[in-house]
Chain A
Amino acid sequence: MKINRFLTICFVLLSNSVLLYAQSSDSVTQGGIAVSYFLYPDSSALRLQTTIQFKENSISGITIAKFRNDTIRGVLMNEFGVKAFQFTIVGNDCKISQPISQLNKKYILRTLQQDFAFAFAIQKTGDAPYSVQKIQNSTERIVNNKKTGELICQSDTVIMNNTQRGIRYTFIPIL
């Protein structure tokens, strides 16, 4: 009887330790910081296939971003490494720098800054300036209070529509 009890205790302890180990392993493999709808890896940069479409023009490339010390720093470049612009987001403020000549106009930069801040800086809690709607199990729609932009967040894609200016941004994580 005593042996049985001993074995049972051993089994329970072993099961718990295996479970704890599995949980800790899981948290390591899925390590990263979630800001907005993007998960920033701890040891490397977030990479997103990115398309910005405006009427018949589009820019496609790869966004590489890092979240450190409450600041998101990133760059959009084409597949061969040539940069379209770089950005820095602190809180809800986004600053675009070193844009290519096509984008280097005040109103374009202002729009890009607002849109990138909306796409990258919004908190999942859906604080004051935004309303969050659950469309399906894996899809959320976030609308800003001015109703000039919406963010459609699916499991593998984040789409930001600037409804006022007709610009569509698509971000797909590169794994």
Chain B
Amino acid sequence: MYKTCILLLLSLTLGAYTSIAQQYKPATAEQKKEIQTKVAQASAHTNTLQSPFTQTKELSVLSEIVTSQGMLYFKKQNNVRWQYNTPYSYVFILSNGKVTIINNNKSNTFDANSNKLFKKVSEIMIASVNGTLLSNETEFASQYFVGASTVKVTLIPKDKELKKIMNTITLTFSKTSWLVQTIQMVEQGGDTTTIQFTQHNENKPISDDLFRSTK
């Protein structure tokens, strides 16, 4: 009984904390400009980034939520290694216009241009990670929100083709590091992908080998 009361109290406190933490107010024009500047500055100063991530995908067709964890490696300009560690091992590398997949110790490389729409999605991911997506006002309409410790930017595609697959992309930035904490993509069918970066390691050396097909 005593334990149940404590658990109930804890869950109520956590629930209240979460609801407070998730309160966002629309940003004023000044705040919007400040956010853009801070994110752009953080992006300019970030030459490399390593971060563990948790990816949650709601799949309505399977009636389930698929969760994967892994590691992101980013190196300027456009080198990305997206490495799943659990529940399976699988690596996606985007570097110098080539996509490399490493699965079962075998690698497979092909031209990133072979699928323009998926290439676009990869570019959006890179631009989300390095913060440059906010300055892309020609392709996205944006809405800015300010919370206690984070800011949230919702991007709505203007591009006709992208619009057909993506409803919104919501980026959450920390108000201290101004690096992206979460990326949430809502597809037109309603399925949602949420990627949460749990710990940022900026400007630590990353070997170029990580962006090659053999490692």
**Cβ contact within 8 Å between A45 and B66:** yes
B101 touches A (CB below 8 Å): yes
User: B121: which A residues are within 8 A, CB to CB?
Assistant: 78, 80, 82
Q: How far apart are the CA atoms of A150 and B148 in the complex, in Å?
A: 59
Q: How many residues of A contact B (CB 8 A)?
A: 38
User: A80: which B residues are within 8 A, CB to CB?
Assistant: 82, 121-122, 125, 185, 193, 195
B117 touches A (CB below 8 Å): yes
**Cβ contact within 8 Å between B64 and A82:** no
User: B201: which A residues are within 8 A, CB to CB?
Assistant: none
Contact of B110 among A60, A173, A175 (CB under 8 A): A60
**Cβ contact within 8 Å between B193 and A175:** no
B165 touches A (CB below 8 Å): yes
**Cβ contact within 8 Å between A79 and B189:** no
B104 touches A (CB below 8 Å): yes
Contact of A101 among B57, B108, B164, B191 (CB under 8 A): B164
Which stretch, A19-27, A50-58, A123-131, touches the partner chain B?
A: A50-58
**Cβ contact within 8 Å between B104 and A57:** no
Q: How far apart are the CA atoms of A80 and B53 in the complex, in Å?
A: 12
Q: How far apart are the CA atoms of A25 and B86 in the complex, in Å?
A: 23
A88 touches B (CB below 8 Å): yes
Q: How far apart are the CA atoms of A172 and B57 in the complex, in Å?
A: 21
User: A60: which B residues are within 8 A, CB to CB?
Assistant: 99, 101, 110, 115, 118
Among A116-175, those with CB < 8 Å from B are 156, 172-175
B1 touches A (CB below 8 Å): no
User: A94: which B residues are within 8 A, CB to CB?
Assistant: none
User: A102: which B residues are within 8 A, CB to CB?
Assistant: 115-117
Q: How far apart are the CA atoms of A173 and B139 in the complex, in Å?
A: 36
Among A56-82, those with CB < 8 Å from B are 56-62, 64, 66, 73-75, 77-82
**Cβ contact within 8 Å between B61 and A86:** yes
**Cβ contact within 8 Å between A56 and B114:** yes
Closest CB of chain A to B162's CB: distance in Å? 9
User: B64: which A residues are within 8 A, CB to CB?
Assistant: 45, 66
User: B108: which A residues are within 8 A, CB to CB?
Assistant: 49, 51
**Cβ contact within 8 Å between B61 and A82:** no
> Given A59-B115, A80-B122, A175-B89, list of 7 further CB < 8 A pairs?
A45-B64, A57-B114, A82-B118, A84-B118, A98-B188, A100-B165, A102-B115
A-B contact pairs, 28 of them (CB 8 A): A45-B62, A49-B103, A49-B108, A51-B108, A51-B110, A57-B114, A57-B115, A60-B99, A64-B62, A74-B61, A74-B62, A78-B121, A79-B92, A80-B82, A81-B193, A82-B118, A82-B121, A82-B166, A83-B189, A84-B118, A87-B61, A97-B61, A98-B187, A98-B188, A98-B189, A102-B115, A172-B104, A173-B104
Interface residues of B (CB under 8 A from A): 55, 57, 59, 61-62, 64, 66, 82, 87-90, 92, 99, 101, 103-104, 106, 108, 110, 114-118, 121-122, 125, 161, 164-166, 185, 187-189, 191, 193, 195
